[in-house]
Amino acid sequence: MLDIKTIRENPKKVEEAAKNKGIEIDINHLLQIDSKHKELQQKAQGLREERNALNEQIKKNPNQWDKEAAQSIKQNLEKIEKSLNSVGDELKEILLRIPNLPKPDVKVGKDESENEVLRKVGSPKKFGFTPKDHLTIGEGLDIIDVKRAAKVSGTRFYYLKNDGVFLEFALRQLAFELLVKEGFTPILPPVLIKEEVMKCLGYMENGGDEDMFILDKEKLVLVGTSEQSIVPFFKDEILDEKELPKRFVGFSSCFRREAGSYGKDTRGIFRVHQFDKAEVVSFVKMGEDDKEHEYLLSLEEKLLGQLNIPYQVVKMCSGDLGFPAARKYDLEGWFPSEKRYRELTSTSTTTDFQARRLNIKYREKGETKFVNILNGTAFSTRPIAAILENYQLEDGSVLVPEVLRKYIGKDKIVKKK
């Protein structure tokens, strides 16, 4: 949620920023509701002061006070407070539909076609044969099974088997070892969160709820990314400045309907309904998110770099930013079978946007301020697909990235006989 003062002082800027994210807002209507809310607040405050003055008179002269005046104040105050609550709810609803503002350094663009490639790291390998895609490789090695998963769960599900399981565990172990050494607190979060909490995160607006699995009866939502149940950890709490930054690395299964991707990426394990993910979340002081964002990006590059997979760093334009994000970087790995880069990890800053909605603050020299919150992917299941394609051999086997060999206990994956 944006600070209402920011909107009052920069209405056109807020309206334009939302438009750059592809979201239309009626800023004039918002300001009218805000003005009405302030007017009702002033009237309510005036009546409360009258009531308090009358109560003081009663204390001094308990047998001499104007009962009609007292009754009038009470009735008027009840009426005003009812209107105030109603207008306040309407104002909050409108504020919740306004996205976070893109950072000044974010390029204005309509969609992913206008994202910026900041740099490329590593050179795509040249194969002496036609490289296969990750599903063909995975099925050949008997480590991925989507056909049986389709029988059991439907499309966009998969089984990982044999060394595919160990690859998953190895990636998680690599991420946790590095990040715990960096001071991150390991955490295993719940995968179901209250619908009201998900709304506070800012992922349900602008059609975001269409991509979620929602349990209507229980009013619970399955997380679509691991940070969704870590970010609210300090909901309605005030931290001490000495505690910041607070950094977590969590691991959980994640669930997405992929509602907007009908017919897209249906092959393999790249875009699925259920996947595992190691995620980082940072809580920092106000104004320190830019520095933290670059730090999280450096960690993601370090992790991906250790796998020795060619990648590029992409900065999202305004039209490709999520509702709560102010800036986002993607790390896209090279897929030889497709001859293109594809998203493997990402990191975003939400500034104080989610903190305001979740009421997460810190105390600094007696003053309370909202924290800045950031998130980033350590590893998901997608790097497995990139490993299979980039490390494939002509005979169908796959070399294990050197950094993962100590976890898997072998340097090559071959089909079990």
256 carries an active-site annotation: yes
Decide if 346 is catalytic. yes
DSSP 255: E
156 belongs to the catalytic site = no
State yes or no: is 229 an active-site residue.
no
Rounded to whole angstroms, the Cα distance separating 110 from 146 reads 35
- Which of these ranges, 70-84, 211-225, 253-267, 319-333, has the smallest mean pLDDT? 253-267
The reply to whether 348 belongs to the active site is no
CATH code of the domain made up of 112-413: 3.30.930.10
> In this structure, which long-range contacts are made by residues 24-29, counting pairs with CB atoms below 8 Å and at least 24 apart in sequence?
25/94, 25/97, 25/98, 29/94
pLDDT one-digit tens code per residue, 50-69:
888 877 777 777 776 667 77
Spans of all domains in the chain:
4-96, 112-413
Of 343, 363, 364, 405, which one is the catalytic site residue? 343
Tell me the fold of 4-96: Helix Hairpins (1.10.287)
User: How many angstroms separate the CA atoms of 74 and 232, rounded?
Assistant: 39
Task: State phi, psi for 263 to the nearest 5 degrees.
Answer: 80, 0
What is the value of pTM for the model shown?
0.91
Q: pLDDT tens for residues 1-39?
A: 888 999 999 999 999 999 999 999 999 999 999 999 999
The catalytically annotated residue of 156, 172, 327, 382 is 382
Using one digit for the tens of pLDDT, what is the confidence trace for 349-403? 999 999 999 999 999 988 999 999 999 999 999 999 999 999 999 999 999 999 9
Rounded CA separation 49/47 (Å): 5
Catalytic residue among 156, 172, 256, 357: 256
Cα dist. 34→4, 41, 87, 266, 355 in Å? Answer: 9, 10, 8, 46, 21
Neighbouring-strand partners of residue 214:
221
Over range 322-347, report the average pLDDT: 96
Catalytic entry in 271, 342, 363, 405? 271
Residue with tokens 């300090």: 234
Q: Which residue among 346, 348, 357, 389 is the active-site one?
A: 346
